[in-house]
Structure 1
Amino acid sequence: MIVFEGAAVSVDGPDGARLILAPLTLELSERRIAVIGANGSGKSTLLKLINGLIPPTAGSVLVAGLDTVKAGRAVRQRVGFVFTDPLSQLVMPTGLEDVELSLRARLRNPTERRTAALAVLERFGLGPLAEQSIYDLSGGERQLMALATVLAVDPAILVADEPTTLLDLRNERRVRSVFRRLDQQVVFTTHDLDFARDSDRVLVIDAGQLVFDGDPGAAIDHYRRMHLEADPLPEHHP
């Protein structure tokens, strides 16, 4: 269970504090939750609150009853975070070494660690790419590698910031298929409204405000109406 208790984020600027995310009070318990909104709306900030990458400047965020500020390390052991660009997450020369790095604290024995890492990669269909340079992988393969490194330690919650944005259609479908099969609770941001429909609940963020929270179909319809009203198509005169 993820609980926001008046959680807000603001930053100091030359003209005083600027609100990035207005106070949120809500519980996130559904298995799949999508967050949609325009660029700069506060979606990524909301995600980063969940695993303590950003602390709230007001209120609090609790994950399984743990405060993300007071118990940040314990929260991050429960919440895995996948970034938009997998190259910002893959730090070792090969995917195998990245997964081994994730498992280092859990498995001290190098042989056991390598065996476990290979098993993780096989689970995601990445076994044949285990020792290939991450720079020789396609965008989809890199994103799956990044997912594997995060999921290797079995977090209870997976948070993903626009995980399909940089992918072509084939690899986008691969990543979406993996997400559907995961046992973890998943919270993700996306601009892909079809991907958002894969969820059980959708949050719509606009200018730092939660403006809709509900069923995917209703939320997406609300989001479309917002943007059609804000940016109407010009009339065409033959």
Structure 2
Amino acid sequence: MAKISTEAKQRYFEKVREYKQRADQYLAREKTVLASIQSEGNGASYKRLVLADDRLNLASYFLLLNRISVSLLGVKNDAFLNDARKSCYQSVIFLEEVVTNLIDAPFSDYSDHLELIADFHDAHRFEMARKLGFTIQSVEDDFGDNSKWKWSFVELEARYATITKNLINLRTVIAGMDPRVEGYESRVAHLSLAKELLQRAADRYREKYELSTLRIDDFKLAIAYLASLRRIHIMLGETQNAEVIKKKIDVWKAKMETDEKKAQQKHPT
């Protein structure tokens, strides 16, 4: 490894100091907002949306600091990468507090949460979902394929899928699917993204089960994400797609039950 020059180190520490100050400002503001949320009514959900967005901005700062380290020092900075990962998780937590973390559930189970953010327009919801996904993917990319966090990202991606789905007001979205209604493009794109992410979450949990954990809970989550996707197909009147997913669920359930029986025979209680 080439020796790092004094000049490179100096430039690095100057950049770190600059962006760390900005990061500290975000964290200080977050602390103040969280303290005020305790006494808020409807405004609490909107404040959490802002905090979630701030956390994504914070993650981008940590990613930038890591890239500065790579550029000037020639090495990754795992501490900054881990801070970026944690900020993504905190953003997810704030959003789950707004729209819930329910995966396969009727819309009526969480519709009251969406009523509290009725003025958060469809286009902004889609932008939030895209920004969250982009930031998570950026963190994964910077960690690299052989990261120790490889399988933990399956959970983060899946929670992102749930949030993307739960940000959609399924009670009003059908009426908004008329091309003449403002925001049509973003609603179509948001629904498409939600379906894509739910399928990916199912596949990734199945992959995690088969290649890493062999934990039935992971298989159950894979099936839950398929079931959630099927709900959307049914709601949109996409009967053929819903039937395809149903058949896939049946196959996966049969495989899971077989694996459970084998595990019980191998390790009887």
TM range, normalised to the smaller chain?
A: under 0.3
- TM-score in terms of structure 1 length: 0.28
Which has the larger helix fraction? Answer: 2
Structure of higher RCO (CA pairs closer than 8 Å, 6+ residues apart): 1
**Which structure has the bigger radius of gyration?**
2
- TM-score in terms of structure 2 length: 0.25
Which has the larger strand fraction? Answer: 1
